[in-house]
Amino acid sequence: MLKKIFRVIYEYTAITFGSLLVALSLNLFLVPNKIAAGGFSGIATVVYYVSHYKLPVGMTMLALNIPAFILGIRTIGVDFWCKKCLWYDHSFSAHRHHHICSLHYI
C-alpha cells in the first residue's frame, strides 16, 4: 500500500517537473525564436505566427489535444485524463505573458 502511494507521488512529481520544463522551453526559447518543435506544440507555434499573434499557442495546443483527451479517456481511462490535465495546468500557467490560458481542472 505504501509503495503504491510513493509511486503515485513520484508519477505526479515527475509530470509536474516535466511539464514545467516544457513550458519554460516553449516560453523562453522556442516561441520567441520562431522555432517550431514537433507535434502539436510545433503546429501551434506555426499557427501563432501565421495568424499574426491572434491565436495563442496554448489555446491552439488545447484545441488540437481535445481529440487526444477523448481517445485517451476511452482507451486508457480516467487516470490518463487526470495526469494530462495536470500537465496542461502547469504548462499553460507558465505562458501567461504570451496570452495563453491557464487551465485549472485539478
- The predicted model scores a pTM of 0.65
Q: Note whether residue 47 is domain-resident.
A: yes
Asked if residue 106 is part of any domain, the answer here is: no
Which among 7, 29, 19 is positioned nearest to 87, based on CA atoms?
A: 19
User: Does residue 50 sit in helix, strand or coil?
Assistant: helix
Structural domain span for residue 45: 2-98
For 23-44, the pLDDT digits (tens) are: 899 889 999 998 998 889 999 9
Task: Tell whether 104 is covered by a domain.
Answer: no
Total domains present in the chain: 1
| pLDDT for residue 12 | 87
Q: Is residue 70 in some structural domain?
A: yes
In a domain, 105, yes or no: no
Asked if residue 103 is part of any domain, the answer here is no
SS3 content of the chain, % helix, strand, coil (to 5): 75, 0, 25
